[in-house]
């Protein structure tokens, strides 16, 4: 596993000059199989991920195609995060997982054959036992 750093310290592999970025804000990890992880280094202003149009604060994340990453208040393109390992590295982004929405015009033939009700409906748990209950027929 290769590890690189990003922050506003000049010794970081990815230098980001912004007041909301800590000296060593996060670590970028490249696994043997090429996946890229980003891990917050206990920064004051945090590491944020936008996946499926929602920003959330994360401690560690596998980078996926289409993700947006923010360190403090600065958004960093995925290309910059993967480029620290060099152009000849085997760094790759994980496939992005999109939620299936009812009524979407998705051209995916697999999604069209899925039973939408079973995917979108959460199972009902018995409050006393915590076990999942079968759907009752009316």
Whether 94 maps to a domain, the answer reads no
Q: What is the pLDDT of residues 55-106, one digit of tens each?
A: 999 999 999 999 999 999 999 999 999 999 998 888 888 886 555 455 555 5
Whether residue 16 lies inside any domain: the answer is yes
- Evaluate if pTM is beyond 0.85: no
Is residue 128, in this structure, part of any structural domain at all?
A: no
Please indicate, yes or no, if residue 15 is contained in any of the structural domains. Answer: yes
Whether 44 maps to a domain, the answer reads: yes
Q: What is the CATH number of the domain that holds 61?
A: 2.60.200.20
In a domain, 107, yes or no: no
Domain count, the chain: 1
Sheet holding 47-50, edge to edge: 55-58, 47-50, 68-71, 74-76
Residue 78 lies in a domain: yes
- What residue numbers bound the domain in which 77 lies? 2-83
- What confidence score (pLDDT) does residue 120 get? 45
Is residue 71 in a domain? yes
d(CA 26, CA 69): 12
> Each residue of 6-55: pLDDT tens digit?
999 999 999 999 999 999 999 999 999 999 999 999 999 999 999 878 89
CA distances from 2 to 8, 59, 129 (A): 20, 18, 46
């Amino acid at each position: 596993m290769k590890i690189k750093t990003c922050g506003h310290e000049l010794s970081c592999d990815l230098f980001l000059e912004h007041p909301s970025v800590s000296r060593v804000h996060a670590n970028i990890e490249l696994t043997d199989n090429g996946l890229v992880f980003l891990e917050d280094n206990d920064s004051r202003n945090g590491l944020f991920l936008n996946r499926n149009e929602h920003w959330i604060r994360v401690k560690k994340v596998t980078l996926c195609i289409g993700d947006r990453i923010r360190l403090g208040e600065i958004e960093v393109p995925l290309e910059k995060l993967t480029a620290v390992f060099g152009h000849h590295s085997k760094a790759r982004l994980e496939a992005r997982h999109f939620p299936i929405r009812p009524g979407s015009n998705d051209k995916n033939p697999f999604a069209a054959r899925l039973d939408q009700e079973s995917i979108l409906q959460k199972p009902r748990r018995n409050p006393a036992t915590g076990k999942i209950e079968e759907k009752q027929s009316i």
